[in-house]
Amino acid sequence: MLKFALIGAGRIGKMHSEIITSNPETELKFVYDLNREIAINVASISKAEVVNNPEEAINSNTTDAVLIASATPTHIEFIKMAANAGKPVLCEKPIDLDIIKVNKCREELKGIKSQIQIGFNRRFDLSHSKAQQARLKKEIGELEMIIITSRDPAAPGLDYLKACGGFFRDTTIHDFDLSRFILGEDPIVEVSAFGENLFDANVKTAKDFDTAMFILKSKSGVLIHINNSRRAVYGYDQRVEVFGSKGMVISNNQTPNSTERYTSSSTSSKDPIHFFFIERYQQAYKDQLNSFIETVKTNSRPKVTFEDGRKALIIANAAYESYKNKRTVEIKYD
């Protein structure tokens, strides 16, 4: 039984606590959140212990692994704390918003043998990973294009928008990572980014975008298109198209069930698509944890590494540079 300390018990932390508690191989032992009430609420559901500081949770002899789901600017502090205590880490994306801090952390961790997995959950989605497998096995011949549509049902509130580090680093970072996952060894080398504020007043106040489009290019010449919106009235729109010389694979939107209705007034009407990430990627979050458990048990390399998190942030930063300077930007990973 792998015993977890959970750091951060907000929206996604609560979901992780439920997944840890329902997994037969894991147990939630400690919860720490800056907001004690939030920690108490989550801990009581999982019968875990609330602690007064992160050290108590992370350094405890009882703790086998640490799940970091606190606010983004705190991730590096807790990654280092866990790594120094010799505990494997599953940390939510992004590692941080500041690449200088991420690079410094990478240097500091160099001598330390630590397993750090970054929470790019979409890699564990069954239909997205089937699309990636089709590319790997050359079922679609030579890969030529990747098209990712990723639109949220509604924009978050102003507080979140002000703190999240901007649309590209907060949201598109998932799509940058998913593109890298599908491309495999073929690195993304160029990006052209466009962002607009078309409809959301809070987004405008936060000086962010609610609508964005990107064209990226890989070293071998694969072209990638990503489009994002903070508002899709029909739900959480998540589609991936992988196109090659021998065909294409589409990972499409999913509905909670596949029931079709046939009545005198309509036929084949489907349920709306999933509302948001917790519903749509529930299986992926569970498989992400299963993959992490396997990594710890076999003492192997995580499926999504610190370096994957670092590279996705570098692409996001290059996208901002592209937007700002109205030109295509070459991406360098060093």
Binding site for ligand NAD (CB under 6 A): 7-13, 32-35, 38, 69-72, 74, 92-93, 119, 121, 277
CA atoms within 13 A on the CB side of 238: 26
For ligand NAD, the closer of residues 13 and 244 by Cβ is 13
- Least distance CB 329 / ligand NAD (angstroms): 24
- Least distance CB 59 / ligand NAD (angstroms): 15
For ligand NAD, the closer of residues 58 and 134 by Cβ is 58
- Least distance CB 139 / ligand NAD (angstroms): 28
- Least distance CB 106 / ligand NAD (angstroms): 18
For ligand NAD, the closer of residues 78 and 323 by Cβ is 78
For ligand NAD, the closer of residues 8 and 235 by Cβ is 8
For ligand NAD, the closer of residues 92 and 308 by Cβ is 92
What is the rounded CA–CA span in Å between residue 32 and residue 228? Answer: 33
Count of CB atoms situated within 10 Å of the CB of 93: 22
For ligand NAD, the closer of residues 26 and 288 by Cβ is 288
- Least distance CB 70 / ligand NAD (angstroms): 4
For ligand NAD, the closer of residues 117 and 322 by Cβ is 117
- Least distance CB 132 / ligand NAD (angstroms): 18
60 phi, psi to nearest 5 deg: -60, 140
- Least distance CB 249 / ligand NAD (angstroms): 23
- Least distance CB 259 / ligand NAD (angstroms): 27
For ligand NAD, which residue has the nearest CB? 10
For ligand NAD, the closer of residues 54 and 244 by Cβ is 54
65 phi, psi to nearest 5 deg: -150, 160
For ligand NAD, the closer of residues 211 and 288 by Cβ is 288
Give residue 18's Cα distance to chain centre.
18
Residue 269 structure tokens: 């009407």
Strand ranges of the sheet holding 116-119, from the earlier edge strand across to the other edge: 49-50, 26-32, 2-7, 65-68, 89-92, 116-119
- Least distance CB 261 / ligand NAD (angstroms): 31
